[in-house]
Chains A and B, each alone.
Chain A
Amino acid sequence: MPKYGMVIDLDKCTLCEACVTACKLENNVQIVSKEDAAIGRTMFWMTMLTLEHEGQYPDIKLKRIPRLCFQCDKPSCIKTCPVRATYKREDGIIAQIYPNCIGCRYCMANCPYTVKVFNWDRDKQPQQVEKCYNEDVSVRPKGIVEKCVFCIHRLQKAEERAKAEYRELRDGDYVPACMEVCPAKAIYFGDLDDPHSKVFEAIKDYRRFTLQEDLGTIPKVYYLNAKD
């Protein structure tokens, strides 16, 4: 069984936020009004965290990292979900079963990385948005919690294609939207256990770190620190 993981090379990252945009469009993430966003109801499966912000434009020094669900090996969210609406698949992806979610938000309180978002008001979407929905991904109703699932619908598609072509799934067949659009190719994705995959090479880097290692959640999204 593969164990999917991701590596984000912060040295290559240009902070363009293409991944953030691609993620939002790929997964039909709700568009939130300005007022709601201002009080903290932003809907993103992938966001940019600003760590350092010095100086004035154009002489500015920025340090930002993209953050998505870390698909922890020992996730605290699946432990707390009373209805098993979030669960760990055999391939390591922490998936969501939207029809099961009762919207109790216990997982949101428990996630140390605040990557879970709640659908506060799905009905207030702009009309035009419906035209650009991705057909492969369900549109979540209001009142349930959602998060990044490593574009799991793409895995299904890749598996089907590989099956039709009578071959095994190859490294690079299944890539999430954020990795696909990254112009700097700063995102690696693949099977962490496969010695021939690019992520396997990438996590051997000495610059590797994960967020809040002391919590013991063992995130499967690794960062490679920027070379100063």
Chain B
Amino acid sequence: MKIQFTTIEGKSFQFYAILVILSILAAAGLYASYRMFEGGHYITGMTNQVPWGFPIVMAVYLIGLSAGSLVLSSLSSVFGKKEYKVFSRVAVYLAALLLMAGLMSITLDWGRPDRLMIPFTYFNFNSMFSWNAFLYSAYIGICVVYLMAMFAEKEKLVTFIGAVAVIWAVAVHSGTGAIFGFIHARELYHSPLLAPSFIAAALSSGTGLMILILLGTFKFTNRPLDNRLILGLSKLLSGFILIVLYFIFIENLTRFYAFGLREAEHYYLFEGLHSKVFWIGLILTGSIIPAAILFFPKTNKSIPWIALASFMVVIGVLAERYIIVIPAQTYPLDQFPGKEVSSVFLDGAYANYLISLPEAAQAVGIVAIVGIMFILGLKLLELLPTEAVIHDTEKK
């Protein structure tokens, strides 16, 4: 049976209410970014010791969600899971939006966002940032073409672009991981595992977000949604959670094993605010509890529980991004092994980083912009199917 995609009506009171609330949040976020640009970055929590703060955490997180979403959209076109075709359009559209949001977070974090075109005109072959500037632009282009091919219902073209999109999503997110993994000087960054673990986190957070988006949109538009779809996605999610946990375990075990890294590892796991984010945010909220929900037979068939688990994973991956980006910078560089170093520059001391209000407002604003664009997209483009029901003849 052919799936009918239609726009939503978007005339109800709730629709406009959501739009207005999101617009207010977006305006607040943009105002915070303007203050950062106009007044200088002193209003953020970043310092010379911690040059990358929450905007970079958000950027990595959003790019991860985007990559995960794009891979999910290709489940039907490339990997032959036809029943997942119902959300492929939404997933691609969301992937494009989230990547743009991630780029926005990075660009607004620059000291000079007005110099936006310079990365495209001065290319540094060795810099991961430089490569990413092109990977990301092409990614958005691929998303647009992919979506247009889907609107035109050209099956073969969709399959081809879908394959390109999957490869590209993996490349883009590995590039994002490599930004950190290639930093030799900081022992908590420098790791070849960072790129694959970024992909795993992207897949798990992308799947979690897709479950939430599907449940939310279908409930809101009163369109029928087959529970088996959500159950299938939740099975994928439970696998991805385990892969993420595995990467975290291996990475930390490696660092714990080496004597030279043990002090850094101890700091990473047990000291400071980030260690709480690690244990409570990532391990407990982001992995153990959702995994328990998804594997426990009484809860893994109930939609509210799955929604809760998905939400926890989405939050947990944000925590993971935080504990990847921040502690590596707050842990001091070992400039003189064996000596206690101190200076007015705060060398040798644990640096502090606290998310400031403008950074948080900017992050919320960017997410709100994604929300606005998403619901406007639902209204203007034929993204949502009239029904998401798996017909038994379809399932082979």
CB < 8 Å: which of A81, A109, A113, A122 contacts B52?
A: A109
Q: Is the beta-carbon distance between A143 and B127 smaller than 8 angstroms?
A: no
User: What residues of A have a CB within 8 angstroms of the CB of B189 in the complex?
Assistant: 109
Q: Is the beta-carbon distance between A40 and B50 smaller than 8 angstroms?
A: yes
Q: Is the beta-carbon distance between B52 and A84 smaller than 8 angstroms?
A: no
Q: Is the beta-carbon distance between B335 and A49 smaller than 8 angstroms?
A: yes
Q: Is B2 an interface residue (CB 8 A)?
A: no
Q: Is B259 an interface residue (CB 8 A)?
A: no
CB < 8 Å: which of B37, B41, B119 contacts A118?
A: B41
User: What residues of A have a CB within 8 angstroms of the CB of B37 in the complex?
Assistant: 143
Residue of A79, A124, A215 with most partner-chain B CB within 10 A: A79
Distance from A98 Cβ to chain B, minimum over Cβ atoms (Å) = 10
Knowing A51-B336, A114-B333, A122-B40 touch, does A41 contact B110 (C-beta < 8 A)?
A: no
Distance from A172 Cβ to chain B, minimum over Cβ atoms (Å) = 30
Q: Is the beta-carbon distance between A108 and B48 smaller than 8 angstroms?
A: yes
Q: Within the assembled complex, what's the spacing in Å between the Cα atoms of A85 and B115?
A: 12
- The tally of residues in B whose CB lies under 8 Å from a CB in A reads 54
- Interface residues in A140-160 by Cβ distance below 8 A to B read 141-145
User: What residues of B have a CB within 8 angstroms of the CB of A122 in the complex?
Assistant: 40
Q: Is A207 an interface residue (CB 8 A)?
A: no
Q: Within the assembled complex, what's the spacing in Å between the Cα atoms of A41 and B352?
A: 12
Q: Is B7 an interface residue (CB 8 A)?
A: no
Q: Within the assembled complex, what's the spacing in Å between the Cα atoms of A37 and B47?
A: 9
- Interface residues in A95-153 by Cβ distance below 8 A to B read 100-106, 108-114, 116-124, 141-145
Q: Is the beta-carbon distance between A49 and B124 smaller than 8 angstroms?
A: no
Q: Is A44 an interface residue (CB 8 A)?
A: yes
User: What residues of B have a CB within 8 angstroms of the CB of A162 in the complex?
Assistant: none
Q: Is the beta-carbon distance between B185 and A111 smaller than 8 angstroms?
A: yes
Q: Within the assembled complex, what's the spacing in Å between the Cα atoms of A117 and B51?
A: 9
Q: How many A-B residue pairs have CB under 8 A?
A: 171
Q: Is the beta-carbon distance between B127 and A80 smaller than 8 angstroms?
A: yes
Give the nearest-CB partner of A52 in chain B.
Answer: B339
User: What residues of B have a CB within 8 angstroms of the CB of A215 in the complex?
Assistant: 184-185
Q: Is A204 an interface residue (CB 8 A)?
A: no
Q: Give the interface size class of chain A.
A: 35 or more
Classify the secondary structure of B's interface with A: loop
Knowing A109-B183, A144-B111 touch, does A118 contact B48 (C-beta < 8 A)?
A: yes
CB < 8 Å: which of B112, B182, B186, B333 contacts A103?
A: B112
Q: Is the beta-carbon distance between A106 and B115 smaller than 8 angstroms?
A: no
Q: Within the assembled complex, what's the spacing in Å between the Cα atoms of A106 and B335?
A: 19
Q: Is A56 an interface residue (CB 8 A)?
A: no
Q: Is the beta-carbon distance between B42 and A121 smaller than 8 angstroms?
A: yes
Residue of B48, B106, B126, B128 with most partner-chain A CB within 10 A: B48
User: What residues of A have a CB within 8 angstroms of the CB of B118 in the complex?
Assistant: 83, 100, 102
CB < 8 Å: which of A47, A79, A104, A119 contacts B344?
A: A47
User: What residues of B have a CB within 8 angstroms of the CB of A78 in the complex?
Assistant: 126
Q: Within the assembled complex, what's the spacing in Å between the Cα atoms of A116 and B329?
A: 14
Distance from B88 Cβ to chain A, minimum over Cβ atoms (Å) = 33
CB < 8 Å: which of A42, A53, A118 contacts B111?
A: A118
User: What residues of B have a CB within 8 angstroms of the CB of A116 in the complex?
Assistant: 48
Q: Is the beta-carbon distance between A42 and B345 smaller than 8 angstroms?
A: yes
Distance from A84 Cβ to chain B, minimum over Cβ atoms (Å) = 5
Q: Within the assembled complex, what's the spacing in Å between the Cα atoms of A48 and B341?
A: 10
Chain B 265-304 near chain A by CB (<8 Å), digits 1 or 0: 0000000000000000000000000000000000000000
Knowing A49-B342, A50-B341, A51-B339 touch, does A79 contact B40 (C-beta < 8 A)?
A: no
Q: Is the beta-carbon distance between A105 and B52 smaller than 8 angstroms?
A: yes
Chain B 102-115 near chain A by CB (<8 Å), digits 1 or 0: 00001001111101
Q: Within the assembled complex, what's the spacing in Å between the Cα atoms of A41 and B124?
A: 28
- Interface residues in B69-126 by Cβ distance below 8 A to A read 106, 109-113, 115-116, 118-119, 122, 124, 126
Distance from B33 Cβ to chain A, minimum over Cβ atoms (Å) = 13
- Interface residues in B42-71 by Cβ distance below 8 A to A read 42, 46-52
Q: Is the beta-carbon distance between B40 and A83 smaller than 8 angstroms?
A: no
User: What residues of A have a CB within 8 angstroms of the CB of B340 in the complex?
Assistant: 51-52
Chain A 72-93 near chain B by CB (<8 Å), digits 1 or 0: 0000101111111100000000
19 A-B residue contacts at CB 8 Å?
A37-B344, A42-B346, A47-B343, A47-B345, A48-B343, A50-B342, A51-B340, A52-B340, A82-B127, A85-B122, A100-B118, A102-B111, A102-B115, A103-B110, A103-B112, A103-B115, A106-B129, A114-B49, A121-B40
Mark A residues whose CB is within 8 Å of B.
Answer: 36-37, 39-42, 44, 47-53, 67, 76, 78-85, 100-106, 108-114, 116-124, 141-145, 211-212, 215
Chain A to chain B: the 10 pairs with minimum beta-carbon distance, closest first: A103-B111, A143-B111, A112-B185, A40-B47, A82-B129, A121-B40, A105-B51, A121-B42, A108-B51, A82-B130
Mark B residues whose CB is within 8 Å of A.
Answer: 37, 39-42, 46-52, 106, 109-113, 115-116, 118-119, 122, 124, 126-130, 133, 179, 182-186, 189, 329, 333-336, 339-348, 351-352
Q: Beyond A109-B186, A124-B40, list 13 extra A-B contacts (CB 8 Å).
A: A79-B126, A82-B122, A82-B133, A101-B115, A102-B111, A102-B115, A103-B111, A104-B110, A109-B52, A118-B51, A120-B41, A120-B47, A143-B111
